[in-house]
Amino acid sequence: MVQQVQTPVYLDNHATTRVDPRVLSAMLPYFSEHYGNAGSTSHVFGWDADAAVEHARETIAAAIGASKRNLVFTSGATESNNLALRGATDRARRRGNHIVSVATEHKAVLDPLTRLGRRDFEVTLLAVEPNDGGRGGWLDPQRVRDAIRDDTMLVSVMLANNEIGVLQSLAEIAAEIRGSDILLHTDATQAIGKIAVDVERLGVDLMSFSAHKLYGPKGVGGLFVSRQKQAGRLQPQIDGGGQEGGVRSGTINVPGVVGFARAVELAEEERTVESQRVGGLRDRLFDALRERVADVQLNGPALSAELRLAGNLNCSFPLVDGEALMMSMREICVSSGSACTSANPEPSHVLRALGLSEDMTRASLRFGVGRFNTAAEIDFAADRVGDAVARLRKMSSLS
């Protein structure tokens, strides 16, 4: 029996996710009934809002193995990354001015680092494993050890990559710098709610994340700030009303924070079952694509739970332009390797760092399978991609 599929089919769950209806219903009263400012200390509207924010803080902190006093709410992971990197470097310069990070980081890390590099910081961007060999994009912790110098003050390595889903060995990287006063920051935006994340076990000092990647609302994020070393002494990047202990001024987005906490709670409750289901759908998609299209190349690490996010698939379709491919199948919503992480249509720096040629980078698509996808949608998508690749290849062979 052929199951009906509602189009367009959304397979771009690394870009953002649909707000879970259970999250939305938790948020709604904080728009309409409990609409107070959590900073209003003189009446019940303020007290209710503040209680909701503190409850949310406790829920999210517990899910990452932290204490609630170590969690700062922000507007999203971009802000969290900026606060972590700039805040730590503004305060702690006397430890040295060398920063170690990775070539495959998100622009929300790379761009602040570029700016720091224009000041008096020196940034070393580490290479990752090449695409062939099953570990494409993985950072060997040994590379971190080799890059550390006497003047290194910060290491920033993302936990899960937004394009190729590779999971980095953060605990081993932390072990490389244990005992020193070097700060370890991780951008865990794609990891929270998808894999188990515990700040103690990972050994990180600063961790950024965002609600809209885990079926929560857009415009809300978090930064874990440990009290160890100098991490707790971040230089605020936004001054004003002194909210969030003075580290991040601005009225707290109460409905957003409430939704964030509900999203984290649901993700934690359902993570094991969901990642198996989503991983199964991702594998089904890859198998179906390989059946329909000749020469599909997998980009990033092998499809194993230890190395890769369950919902991530990134493939190149040789002789086809990914952007043209996307445009020729409007019923399928994915991303291409030409315009992944920013408004800038440059070939993906992540795929280039894996050693892909510009052509193979441009021939790539990123699929992000998520909570609301079905097997019927996966089969439909594989059919559409197969048809579109065949059509484009035929056209290019005729031209």
Ligand X SMILES: Cc1ncc(COP(=O)(O)O)c(C=O)c1O
Residues annotated as catalytic (active site), given as ranges: 340
Euclidean distance between CA atoms 378 and 48, whole angstroms: 44
Instruction: Kindly list the residues in this chain that would bind ligand X in the complex (CB under 6 A).
Output: 76-78, 106, 108, 158, 162, 187, 189-190, 210, 221
Q: Select 22 or 218, whichever has its Cβ closest to ligand X.
A: 218
Minimum CB distance to ligand X, residue 241 (Å): 22
Q: Select 66 or 166, whichever has its Cβ closest to ligand X.
A: 166
Euclidean distance between CA atoms 149 and 128, whole angstroms: 19
Minimum CB distance to ligand X, residue 257 (Å): 14
Give every strand in the sheet of 364-368, ordered side by side.
Answer: 297-298, 312-316, 364-368, 335-336
Cβ partners under 8 Å of residue 294, min gap 6: none
Q: Select 80 or 328, whichever has its Cβ closest to ligand X.
A: 80
Minimum CB distance to ligand X, residue 356 (Å): 19
Euclidean distance between CA atoms 80 and 78, whole angstroms: 5
Residue 303 carries which DSSP code? S
Minimum CB distance to ligand X, residue 216 (Å): 10
- The radius of gyration of the chain from alpha carbons, rounded to an integer in Å, stands at 22
Q: Select 66 or 159, whichever has its Cβ closest to ligand X.
A: 159
Neighbours of 202 (CB within 10 A): 25
Q: Select 78 or 328, whichever has its Cβ closest to ligand X.
A: 78
The residues that bridge with 103 in the sheet, in sequence order, are none
DSSP for 112-133, please give it.
Answer: HHHHHHHTT-EEEEEP---STT
Residues 234/247, Cβ–Cβ less than 8 Å: yes
Minimum CB distance to ligand X, residue 74 (Å): 9
The CA-CA-CA angle for residues 45, 48, 53, to 5°, reads: 125
Residue 38 to residues 74, 241, 303, 377, Cα–Cα distance (Å): 14, 12, 44, 42
Buried b (16+ CB within 10 A) or exposed e, 327-350: ebbeebbbbbbbbbbeeeeebbbb
| Burial group, residue 273, by CB count within 10 angstroms (0-12, 13-18, 19+) | exposed
3-state secondary structure of 254: helix
Residues 361/351, Cβ–Cβ less than 8 Å: yes
Q: Which residue is nearest to ligand X (CB)?
A: 76
Q: Select 162 or 312, whichever has its Cβ closest to ligand X.
A: 162
Q: Select 152 or 210, whichever has its Cβ closest to ligand X.
A: 210
Euclidean distance between CA atoms 291 and 385, whole angstroms: 11
